[in-house]
Chains A and B, each alone.
Chain A
Amino acid sequence: MEKIFRVDYFQKNNLLIVVAIIFGILIFATLLFYIIGIVNPNAKLSELKARTKSWWIMASMFILATVVNSMISYIAIAFLSFVAFRELYSLMGFRESDRRAIFWAFLSIPIQYYLAFIGWYGAFIIFIPVVMFLFLPFRFILKGETNGIIKSMAALQWLLLLTVFGISHLAYLLSLPELPNFNSGGRGLLLFVVFLTEINDVMQFTWGKLFGRHKIIPKISPNKTWEGFIGGIISTTIIGFFLGFLTPLKGSELIFVSFMVAVSGFIGDVVMSSIKRDVGVKDTGNLIPGHGGILDRIDSLIYTAPVFFHLVYYLAY
């Protein structure tokens, strides 16, 4: 049992408090919508209910990833990358002759996560931006089909950076060395960035629904407003400050990092929206209900994971 589950979880009050808070919020939201549904049967709740359901799944997945043996956590996050990569590349219309290069791109996923698992930082940080960047074009040219090759090379590399390199920073958080006077460790950091990113989405959504008047980028995301953006950033920064016990950061550093998570979460969200508009789909898949694809749920994480990782790595390690 101890090999599969990390029993020390229950001795780490910090983590336990946050898990309790997350489930508390989810139970509150579920009950709230249930009661509103009974009191006012005409209320349009299906979207909110579906959202809550997808939060349950996301929260359980990430909390499980922090409870179980770390090897399983790495595999779980790698699977997330795999599904995101698959969803996105399927939409992008690669050429028939790109299949071999795409095969190698898929293979890079386990390698990248293995490098995170063994904690070889130097290799982890260059594997996709340097090694795959140089290798994939070589695999493309072996096929010899030059018509449209730039687009394929660029799109594949960019996809790997988004869905594999970016998300794999979440896994590397678990491989960061122990710090004195900081006992939540990598699991605390992982929980912090995922929770803050998701709460940022919720806050931007809520503030936008309540007070949204001025559209911020109507061509890409008509529901995004300045009110939602600013309200979201302020509330996320405050929440991040109070959850700071999950990180080794203090005071102004913590405020700055939370602020950056909020801003980059917004950017990730709209960047992914623009991609969805380009390929002409609203939802990217159906793994998690309500929000369509898994990409729709991790779009902000694609940006927040590397931003948060490198800020923390610079400030604390």
Chain B
Amino acid sequence: MRKIILQVIYCVIIRNFLRLFIGVKFENSNILMTEEQFIVIANHNSHLDTMAMMAAIPHKLIHKVKPVAAKDYFGRTKFQEKLSNYFINTLLIKRTSSSEKGGDNPIRQMIKELDKGYSLIVFPEGSRGNPEVMQPLKKGIALVLLERPHIKFVPVFMYGMGKALPKGDGIILPFTSIVKFGNAEKINTDSNKDEIILNIEQRLIALKEQ
């Protein structure tokens, strides 16, 4: 039942809304068709980003994909947390306590979901920031990839949605945007976390300039 709800919301409603109204163009998004489990790593400009990522997921996989989101933003109340867990399928993490050990550690949380067979969508820039300006990536995702090196990552570069719905503005305006998917790739297990982050950054910039 939940799978059908998610499919209708994202693969029908949101996908067409983004394409026809906002003017989002998905490039190379069928790359995900052949993958079973993956971590989508995307730049972050707008609330529309999560919607666009979910809308680009093939309908067969939609219930197996969790966008990683900030608990201090999407889970401010219990009710809000339930809503976003149900309708966006989010994995809520605490942005502030990344060094903390134990069950609440975001790295552990992500690995746990991966082990359950879920795919993840992460925005390692952390916050949306200024529209269309890329910020340095957080290192956490490299730690996750190092722990589970058999899982492929898919770099995604998005342009334009930060103008369609920028941070701090409530009005959505149509704006011709683009979502470019890179090829899925496994990390080099010999590299350390800084090298992995650098590699991901380079892949994102390559997509941007393509």
Contacts and interface: CB of A to CB of B under 8 A. Distances in A.
B174 interface: yes
B171 A87 contact: no
B175 interface: yes
B173 interface: yes
B25 interface: yes
Interface string A176-197: 0000000000000000000000
A133 interface: no
B129 interface: no
A285 B131 contact: no
B75 interface: no
Given A86-B176, A90-B160, A90-B176, A103 B171 contact: yes
B29 to A, nearest CB: 14
B115 interface: no
Interface in A125-143: none
A211 to B, nearest CB: 37
Nearest to A102: B173
B175 A86 contact: yes
A interface, by DSSP: helix, strand, loop or mixed?
Answer: helix
B23 interface: yes
A32 B51 CA distance: 44
A47 interface: no
B interface, by DSSP: helix, strand, loop or mixed?
Answer: loop
A82 B25 CA distance: 16
A285 B175 contact: no
B23 A83 contact: yes
B169 interface: yes
B166 interface: yes
Interface string B129-172: 00100000000000000000000000000001001001001010
Contacts of A100: 171
Contacts of B173: 99, 102-103, 106
Interface in B176-196: 176-177
Interface string A238-272: 00000000000000000000000000000000000
A286 B25 CA distance: 8
Contacts of A2: none
Contacts of B160: 90
A99 B171 contact: yes
Given A99-B169, A99-B171, A87 B176 contact: yes
Interface string A85-122: 01101110000100110110010000000000000000
Contacts of A103: 171, 173
A89 B171 CA distance: 16
B127 to A, nearest CB: 18
Contacts of B169: 99
Interface string A65-83: 0000000000000000011
A220 to B, nearest CB: 23
Given A87-B176, A106-B173, A285-B176, A96 B166 contact: yes
The 9 closest A-B pairs by CB, nearest first: A90-B176, A86-B174, A86-B23, A90-B175, A87-B176, A103-B171, A286-B25, A102-B173, A86-B176
Interface of B: 23, 25, 131, 160, 163, 166, 169, 171, 173-177
24 contacts: A83-B23, A86-B23, A86-B175, A86-B176, A87-B23, A87-B176, A89-B175, A90-B23, A90-B160, A90-B163, A90-B176, A90-B177, A91-B176, A96-B131, A96-B166, A99-B169, A99-B173, A100-B171, A102-B173, A103-B171, A103-B173, A106-B174, A285-B23, A285-B25
